[in-house]
Amino acid sequence: MNKAYITTPIYYVNDVPHIGHAYTTIIADTMARYYRLKGFNTFFLTGTDEHGQKIEEAAKLRGRSPQEYADEISGKFRALWDVFDISYDKFIRTTDEDHKIGVQKAFQTMFDKGDIYKGEYEGHYCVSCETFFTQTQLIDETNCPDCGKPTTLLKEESYFFKLSKYQEKLLKWYQDDAKCVLPVGKKNEVISFVKQGLHDLSITRTSFNWGIKLPKEIGDDRHVMYVWLDALLNYITALGYGKEEENISFWPANIQLVGKDILRFHAIYWPAFLMSLDLPLPQHIAAHGWWTRNGEKMSKSKGNVVNPKEVADAYGLENFRYFMLREVPFGQDGDFSQKALIDRINSDLGNEFGNLLNRIIGMSGKYSDFHITSKNVQALHVKELDEALALLDGIELKLCDMQTNRYLEDLWKVLSIANNAITIHEPWNKIKNGDTQGALAVVGLVANLLAKVSILVSPIMPQTASKIADALGFEINTQNYEKFILAQTLLDDFIIKKVPPLFPKIEEELMNTPEPQATLKTKTETVKEKIIDESIITIDQFFQTKLKVGTIIEAQAVANSQKLLQLQVDIGEETPRQIVAGIKEYYAPEDLLNTQVCVVANLKPAKIMGLVSQGMLLAAKDNDGLSLIRPENKKKSGASIG
């Protein structure tokens, strides 16, 4: 029996599931359902990535242990996939004991082979991306080239994997196996990256604990494994690698779905690890693009993250699945908007797909008491039938090449043939003119095309497809796939069942689009996540605050206030700034004259006790009181700080 092994990336547990995660998972689920339809013995893996510094820090900020925190978020992923009817066969967690054993075995195997050596790592590390970068890769000398956040310079003892040793072998793989990385454009990016030269990879860390320990035999328990080594190995530990290898025959994977941001790890490190382990390489690593919202990257701090559960609740899970796979060419970025989703539902699904079923229910009800026959379809509609069969003939290749949008476009061309047949042949006129056979042949043609489309759309819209098949008197299963698609057989005569419209028209936007993630989190979680997100800023964000040295040239108490002083501060402008500061309890006005301070110079002016304040002074406060922050040596008024 043919086998298929499909994987998603395993999701970090520092964030609840969002539309990007749902997209990867839905494509993978589609592929798994497609292979099951074809009768392949299929194994579909998903799960969560739970180790590493990022998770350790996220848990700490919430006052939780990493394990507790991982349990909770991993549970949220699993619960969502269950609600979404994702047909995974295994949900792996990198904190699973079996996984740890497999990872340690892999480490030991690579070590014994001489592919791992001990050295010292010095480099810039981005905790958010869990990735090392060289100085030349950084933006503005300090920031991560992938996410823009500041990196940390690390110098520590580390074990290295001899990635450089595999450079030529990798290039040969890309060259020999045309479709090993999909889409091909993305493969070319990988090739140019590898051609620039691969450095050996630091694969252990000593600066934190939340990770898998090295195998005992190595005798170095200060190190934990680099999270990407740990995570990538999930694809084989899930099959039992290192323990009971009951499912290992599923390896190599047929399709490994990833987002474009993590392609480098999957198309370079992962095959190199596999080469070192003497295991075969995956057939396809397929990288999809990113979903944006109104053209912008989604982020919690912007509050523009789309919650997939909310979309599915409002518009229907299968409509959402269809939209995601149809709207964007695989590999490209796509923008989420309710308008685009509504258009797809009303037009593609309602008018072109669901309506066909209603029309043949209506017509067959009038003409033949709901009896539908394939008799005369071949004889009277050979042209339409051939055209449709020709389209269906090449269609599966598109799905296997991950061109989900083109696959659906072709299925909809088949639906157009059916819709056009009704318009052109006007069965109601045939009935009027006494040509009942002719009218029934049109209805029969449409029913057959609808049946074939419902089988092939079933991996994307399983419930909808089953409802249509049920109305047309058959079941969606491998046997019928072979009969109606591969053998191109027509439907046996049947009585169509009446079903209510499958895609009721949507008149207006159904989501209010407030902060969508809020529904999945408690208020405290949201606040804490905001803190985490906002606690890190880029250098550009920092420089949005204009800080200047100021010299206090006048100071007096504000009448009727116990706290405020009214200051005139020279910050090198034509006139001094008036600043009202809450420092009266700590400074006497006369002591401030001619002293220097640090001023936030681009604050929106505010009125305090009726006085305009045109800036703010920097100060530090603790239990012992408050101290103004001042330059160590006298500086020119207006000198910029930063």
Residues that bind ligand MSP (CB under 6 A): 9-12, 20-21, 23-24, 49, 231-232, 234, 258-259, 261-262, 290-291, 298
Shortest distance (Å) from residue 287 CB to ligand MSP: 8
DSSP 185-239: HHHHHHHHHHHT-PPPEE-EESS---SPBPPGGG--TT-EE-HHHHHHTHHHHTT
**Tokens at residue 164, please?**
């450089």
Identity of the residue, 228 or 494, whose beta carbon is nearer to ligand MSP in the bound complex: 228
The identity of residue 362, as a single letter, is G
Shortest distance (Å) from residue 249 CB to ligand MSP: 21
Shortest distance (Å) from residue 345 CB to ligand MSP: 21
Shortest distance (Å) from residue 231 CB to ligand MSP: 4
From CA 536, how far away is CA 54, in angstroms rounded? 13
Output Rg (C-alpha) for the chain, integer angstroms.
32
Shortest distance (Å) from residue 277 CB to ligand MSP: 15
User: 76 φ, ψ to 5°?
Assistant: -70, -40
Shortest distance (Å) from residue 89 CB to ligand MSP: 17
* Other beta carbons within 10 Å of 147: 17
Identity of the residue, 12 or 503, whose beta carbon is nearer to ligand MSP in the bound complex: 12
> 12: left (phi > 0), else alpha (psi -120 to 50), else beta?
beta
From CA 416, how far away is CA 413, in angstroms rounded? 5
Shortest distance (Å) from residue 50 CB to ligand MSP: 9
Asked whether the CA dihedral 8, 14, 18, 19 is positive or negative, the reply is: negative
Shortest distance (Å) from residue 376 CB to ligand MSP: 48
Identity of the residue, 18 or 467, whose beta carbon is nearer to ligand MSP in the bound complex: 18
Identity of the residue, 49 or 384, whose beta carbon is nearer to ligand MSP in the bound complex: 49
Identity of the residue, 298 or 441, whose beta carbon is nearer to ligand MSP in the bound complex: 298
Identity of the residue, 21 or 205, whose beta carbon is nearer to ligand MSP in the bound complex: 21
DSSP 356-392: HHHHHHHHHHHHHTTEE--TTHHHH-HHHHHHHHHHH
SS3 string, 112-126, reads: HCCCEEEEEEEEEEE
* Closest residue to ligand MSP using C-beta atoms: 259
Identity of the residue, 285 or 442, whose beta carbon is nearer to ligand MSP in the bound complex: 285
Identity of the residue, 151 or 551, whose beta carbon is nearer to ligand MSP in the bound complex: 151
Shortest distance (Å) from residue 459 CB to ligand MSP: 20
Identity of the residue, 124 or 264, whose beta carbon is nearer to ligand MSP in the bound complex: 264
* Other beta carbons within 10 Å of 316: 22
Shortest distance (Å) from residue 100 CB to ligand MSP: 15
DSSP 486-545: IS-PPPPPEEPPP---SSPPP-S-----SSGGGGGS-HHHHHHHHHHHHH---HHHHTTS
Shortest distance (Å) from residue 21 CB to ligand MSP: 5
CA neighbor of 512 nearest in space, from 311, 263, 250, 248: 311
What lies within 8 Å, CB to CB, of 269 at 6+ separation is: 163, 201, 228, 229, 232
User: 148 φ, ψ to 5°?
Assistant: 85, -5
Shortest distance (Å) from residue 615 CB to ligand MSP: 39
Asked whether the CA dihedral 559, 561, 562, 566 is positive or negative, the reply is: negative
From CA 329, how far away is CA 572, in angstroms rounded? 56
From CA 22, how far away is CA 19, in angstroms rounded? 5
3-state secondary structure of 475: coil
Identity of the residue, 26 or 415, whose beta carbon is nearer to ligand MSP in the bound complex: 26
Identity of the residue, 227 or 476, whose beta carbon is nearer to ligand MSP in the bound complex: 227
CA neighbor of 11 nearest in space, from 23, 1, 26, 21: 21
From CA 308, how far away is CA 19, in angstroms rounded? 5
Identity of the residue, 296 or 493, whose beta carbon is nearer to ligand MSP in the bound complex: 296
